[in-house]
A = this chain, B = another copy of it.
Amino acid sequence: MKLRAQVLLSILVCFATAFTQTIQKDATPKTMQERLGYPASARLLVIHADDLGMSHSVNRATFEALEKGWITSASILVPCPWFPEVARWAKQHPDADLGIHLALTSEWTDLRWGPVSGMNRVPSLVDGQGYFPLDTPDVDRNAKMPEVEYELHSQIDRAKKAGIPLTHLDMHMAGMVSSIELFDVYRKLRDEYKLPILLEPAGTHGLPSGVSVPADEATIERIITMEPGVASSDWFDWYKKQLSTLTPGVYQLIVHVAYDDEEMRGATWDHADWGISAISPGARVCVGDLERVGEGATVAILQ
């Protein structure tokens, strides 16, 4: 099977390094583009794949997409069975822009995972079967924050111990912005590990209701991600429309890449919206054909 790339964007430029630099405060607040070394008028795009490590199918597709520049970064589900394969690949690709996809949920039904720190250490984070719950509302209802903090430290620390150079933290199923308490842990991890977190001012990965933070804490103007309901034949046009209308800012396009194989069909069998259409050949990587022109390049400038 072959991943098809479609041309929407071009030049890749240095991002990850700049992104992890300490944000400098001065009298005149700078835009995120300026803080990254670009003009305030730049339109920058991170093309990001979630769920690396979930399965061999996801790993194969993500590695290929990163190696060919179809995506610019990815984040890792550390509790998943194929995490060791990610660690091995990361050693061979030390410049890859990889973050931790902080996980407190396990959404499939036949393939599941639980806390790295063990169900006995963090009992408020597991369901009756000993796995992370299927969805975030269960986390909101039951999770004790000291256990959340312990588990997420364990996930980050396992990746660091495996030698993976981390560039950022983000969250599985938007789990870190579903309550004020979880959001506090998210920010705390950011400060402790000195890693940028994915955060948009509003939207699925935005601030929880009732929370306000300084404006420059949001790292992304807006997340662009396709929700179920768009026919795969319309994907190209959908992405084109989303990207062509963007105003200056830093955006993140989130995709989920995998091969349309037995393993992936087995994992997604009872999730109609994440089945064939989400992983059908030719539509896995929806923006791409990007040329790599600089080291550590993980942002595309929209032309």
Contact = CB atoms under 8 A, between A and B. Distances in A.
Contacts of A119: 116-118
How many of these chains are in the complex?
2
Contacts of A276: none
B262 A56 contact: yes
Interface stretch (A34-42, A79-87, A180-188, A236-244): A79-87
Contacts of A131: 84
Nearest to A265: B56
A3 B123 CA distance: 42
A93 interface: no
A109 interface: yes
A81 to B, nearest CB: 4
Interface in A233-274: 259, 261-263, 266-267
A21 B122 CA distance: 39
| Secondary structure call for the A interface | loop
Contacts of A292: none
- Interface centre among A59, A88, A112, A120, by most chain B C-beta atoms within 10 angstroms, is A120
A83 B106 CA distance: 14
A275 interface: no
A37 B27 CA distance: 90
A162 B120 CA distance: 18
Contacts of A161: 128-129
Interface of A: 55-57, 59-60, 80-85, 88, 109-113, 115-121, 128-131, 158, 161-162, 259, 261-263, 266-267
Given A60-B266, A81-B81, 18 more contacts: A56-B263, A60-B262, A81-B111, A82-B110, A82-B111, A84-B110, A84-B112, A84-B131, A85-B111, A85-B266, A116-B119, A116-B130, A118-B120, A118-B121, A120-B120, A129-B161, A129-B162, A261-B263
